[in-house]
Amino acid sequence: MKILVCTYSGNEKYIDLCVRILDERWTNHPPIIVCSDRGNFVFENKIVCKKRDWVLMMEGCLRELLATNRITIDEQVIVLLEDHVPYASVDGAAIERLAGFLQQHGNTYLNLSGHGADQLVGCENGWHIYNLELHTFSSLHPAIWSVRHFMETLAFARESGALDPWRFERTRIPGSVHFTVDKVAWPSVHGGFLFRGMVNVPAMKFMQIGSLKRLRRLLLWKFVLELPKRLLGRLIAPTPGG
């Protein structure tokens, strides 16, 4: 298993801190590979594909990783947008058990954010596992993917013209089965520490120690710069009944 941290040039300034946070929050985590369109950060284990669209960038990164044997087609990866770094300790043993369940049940996709209950399909050491039935069937909240299924979903999204991450999340290959759990297996704030490109303020209350605290200081500066835009948005927001 690998952790694929996905970013782009506009958010690369957070990457080195995000890697440190992973080191602090998950002892002995799997190897990290950062995928981006530029690669202007210190962390060395990176792959760069200079494509503007997220789906094309990720396809290019995965092809290069496969061609250079840095990943294998039937391997599992945790796909992690950079703003979903964990704010608490990750239970690596639980992740391994859930990955084992996925391996035995189609090896497609298992969401780690606890998206709620639909049809119960299994139980793994106290973790209840359900079929995932959401409009964001391929949600980019932290999840375990097989490389094969991730590649197939990216290709299906590309052929459908769903090239940005938001439309990718709504991609569903006919007949595919995705899973989720009944509780949060990956402790990050819903939506990440950025929301629509702006600071997700509720996320900052969890950033009190170590590298999380340093990340919080960066986000506070970004929040200050966003204030005019945020205030303008409030001024022009429609009033109830308007």
Q: Which amino acid is at 30?
A: P
For residues 63-71, average pLDDT: 98
Domain membership of residue 148 as a residue range: 2-193
Please report the pLDDT score of residue 231 as a whole number. 84
* Domain contains 207: no
Q: Residue 68 burial by CB count (10 A; 0-12/13-18/19+): exposed, middle or buried? A: exposed
Binned at pLDDT 50, 70 and 90, residue 178 comes out as: very high
* Domain contains 238: no
List the Cα angle 95/97/101 in 5-degree steps: 115
For residues 115-139, average pLDDT: 88
Backbone dihedral angles phi then psi of residue 223, each to the nearest 5 degrees: -60, -40
For residues 199-217, average pLDDT: 95
> In this predicted model, what pLDDT tens digit does every residue of 226-242 receive, in sequence order?
999 888 766 565 544 44
Please report the pLDDT score of residue 230 as a whole number. 83
* Domain contains 120: yes
Number of folded domains in the chain?
Answer: 1
Decide if pLDDT at 106 tops 90: yes
Categorise residue 209: left if φ over 0, alpha if ψ from -120 to 50, beta otherwise.
beta
CATH of the domain at 174: 3.90.550.10
Measuring CA to CA, which residue among 210, 183, 209, 196 is closest to residue 91? 183
Decide if pLDDT at 93 tops 50: yes
Please report the pLDDT score of residue 126 as a whole number. 85
* Domain contains 154: yes
Q: How far apart are CA 163 and CA 159, in angstroms?
A: 9
Q: How far apart are CA 76 and CA 71, in angstroms?
A: 9
Decide if pLDDT at 9 tops 90: yes
pTM score of the predicted model = 0.93
* Domain contains 223: no
* Domain contains 23: yes
* Domain contains 57: yes
Decide if pLDDT at 123 tops 50: yes
- Higher pLDDT among residues 126 and 13, named by residue: 13
For residues 82-90, average pLDDT: 96
Q: Where do the H-state alpha helices sit in 88-240?
A: 92-104, 147-159, 165-168, 210-236
Q: How far apart are CA 139 and CA 81, in angstroms?
A: 11
For residues 204-218, average pLDDT: 95
* Domain contains 104: yes
Q: How far apart are CA 80 and CA 192, in angstroms?
A: 10
Average pLDDT over the chain reads: 93
